[in-house]
């Protein structure tokens, strides 16, 4: 029986309409007696603006926009999709899942649909799971979405976190193939690095909200952990694929902080000119971060057929991972 692989055949993304620059955000925060500035945010994070969801724009609707964009790019009808995996930390409700709601909106009722929660590492976890399921031979075409509306769980009185996050969605179509597309993947986690490092501990019980409903973060510890874990993960996934770092043509890291991205690229040995950077325009969009950046690179022809693409992310848990892909898609 021939070996089954999976490959990316389409990418898509979606952003809310409202772009908020650092200066606009600083002006809004000043009304709450929170002091910050464009320079303070840019020099520490590389972020210049982010998109914030308007009232009524749900996680599911944002996911639908990205999904339809990816379906169009792949030339795929929604009825052909037999697997939907949605990575999100900000679902519209506890259940049904965002994936099932998305399936209903797209009108593709066959196959499986489920959510996956690994926060900022969610998309890397999701595409790894979809690839594994396609390789079983049971599923043929998967829609993988990373989507988050982080602005709704950010404490706007906490300068250390509220300037970092934006809202967005990114998606890929992953199809069964007789040629390798996804070359290798590595997922890792360390539960001892728990909510004291990065977390949002709020929950609902007995009809009441309990705990802290906002994101809290130890920035210095996250920085150290992110640099170390992603560097190690990159080396491991390249070894799994029997490739050298010099063979990586495009590097798509989690768009959380430009300084982290630059430090990881330096430790891995990837030139900065190979690194996709969208954090300046989008901020940290959590699970949407990597697919947003990937779609941006694909649409600007920064990725060409035959290129080796390294995608990486790290998030609360702490959880992290890397996916190595051979780009088999023709440029538009």
Which residue numbers are catalytic? 120, 254, 284
Which positions ≥6 away from 148 have C-beta within 8 Å?
Answer: 59, 88, 89, 90, 122, 167, 168, 169, 285, 286, 287, 288
Q: Is 128 exposed, middle or buried (0-12, 13-18, 19+ CB in 10 A)?
A: buried
Q: Which two tokens stand for residue 47?
A: 């972020």
Q: Is the peptide bond before 96 cis (omega within 30 degrees of 0)?
A: yes
* Three-state SS at 324: strand
Q: What DSSP line would sit under 168-200, residue for residue?
A: EEEEEEEEEESS-SEEEEEEEE-TTS-TTTEE-
- For 224, residues 6+ apart whose C-beta sits below 8 A from its C-beta are none
* CB 66, CB 145: distance < 8 Å: yes
């Amino acid at each position: 029986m021939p070996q089954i692989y999976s490959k990316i055949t389409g990418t898509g993304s979606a952003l809310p309409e409202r772009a908020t620059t650092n200066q606009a955000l600083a002006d809004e925060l000043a009304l709450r007696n929170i002091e910050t500035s464009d320079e303070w945010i840019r020099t520490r994070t590389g972020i210049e603006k982010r998109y914030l969801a308007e009232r009524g724009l749900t996680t599911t609707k944002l996911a639908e926009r990205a999904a339809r964009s990816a379906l169009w790019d792949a030339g795929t009808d929604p009825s052909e999709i037999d697997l939907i995996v949605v990575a999100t930390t900000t679902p519209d409700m506890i259940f049904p899942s965002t994936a099932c709601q998305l399936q209903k909106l797209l009108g593709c009722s066959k196959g499986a649909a489920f959510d996956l929660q690994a926060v900022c590492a969610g998309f890397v976890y999701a595409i790894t799971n979809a690839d594994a399921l396609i390789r079983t031979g049971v599923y043929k075409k998967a829609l993988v979405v990373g989507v988050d509306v982080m602005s709704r769980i950010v404490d706007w009185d906490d300068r250390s976190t509220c300037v970092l996050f934006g809202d967005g969605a990114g998606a890929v179509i992953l199809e069964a193939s007789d040629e390798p597309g996804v070359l290798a993947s590595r997922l890792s986690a360390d539960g001892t690095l728990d909510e004291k490092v990065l977390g949002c501990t709020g929950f609902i019980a007995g009809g009441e909200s309990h705990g802290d409903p906002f994101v809290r973060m130890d920035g210095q510890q996250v920085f150290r952990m992110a640099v170390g874990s992603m560097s190690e993960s990159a080396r491991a996934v390249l070894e799994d694929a029997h490739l050298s770092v010099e063979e990586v043509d495009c590097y798509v890291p989690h768009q959380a902080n430009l300084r982290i991205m630059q430090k990881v690229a330096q430790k891995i040995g990837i030139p900065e000119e190979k690194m996709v950077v969208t954090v300046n325009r989008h901020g940290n969009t959590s699970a949407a971060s990597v697919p947003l950046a990937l779609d941006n690179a694909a649409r600007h022809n920064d990725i060409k057929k035959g290129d080796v693409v390294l995608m990486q992310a790290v998030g609360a848990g702490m959880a992290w991972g890397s996916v190595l892909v051979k780009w088999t898609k023709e440029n538009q």
